[in-house]
Amino acid sequence: MKFVSALTEEEQIALTQLYQTGNSHRQRQRAHGVLLSAQGYSIAQLAELFTAKRDTVSRWLTTWQQTGILGLADAPKSGRPRKVTQEVEAVLLDLLEHPTPALKTVIEAELQKKTSRSRGTR
């Protein structure tokens, strides 16, 4: 049977925090699985509890043992590149926090400015 070895107090705190406030459901689930494994739950029990395949749960535990808490995060996903740069997003968020009567016009002007700059025209 495969179990996670005893957790240090720091690991326990970090896993509990990740379980409670992780970025994604899958990340929180993995942290919870590691915590339960350290308490003696078997892979079969964890697989049933999380309605996951045994191999999946085993991979969580192996990843934890090899890379620690960073290994519980979701891997980067491929996908379409962002259309809005972080700079434009910051301007938009500022506009939303401080709305003006002509918000749509201001947003369109800002987007046009940023798009012109990225194309090399001013």
Three-class secondary structure assignment of 75-88: CCCCCCCCCCCHHH
Does 19 share its domain with 68?
A: yes
- pLDDT tens digits, one per residue of 30-64: 999 999 999 999 999 999 999 999 999 999 999 99
Does 14 share its domain with 40?
A: yes
Nearest-angstrom CA–CA distance, 65 and 71: 9
Does 21 share its domain with 68?
A: yes
User: Would you state the pLDDT for residue 21?
Assistant: 92
Token pair listed for 120: 């090399």
- pLDDT tens digits, one per residue of 68-121: 999 999 888 888 887 878 888 888 788 778 877 777 787 788 778 777 776 665
| Alpha-helical runs (H) found in the chain | 9-21, 25-38, 43-50, 54-67, 86-97, 103-119
Does 34 share its domain with 61?
A: yes
Does 95 share its domain with 61?
A: no
Per the structure, the count of domains in the chain is 2
96 inside domain: yes
1 inside domain: no
Kindly report the number of other CB atoms within 10 A of residue 13's CB atom: 11
Domain that holds residue 109: 86-119
Does 104 share its domain with 67?
A: no
81 inside domain: no
Q: What is the dihedral of CA 57, 59, 62, 64, to 10 degrees?
A: -70
User: Would you state the pLDDT for residue 118?
Assistant: 64
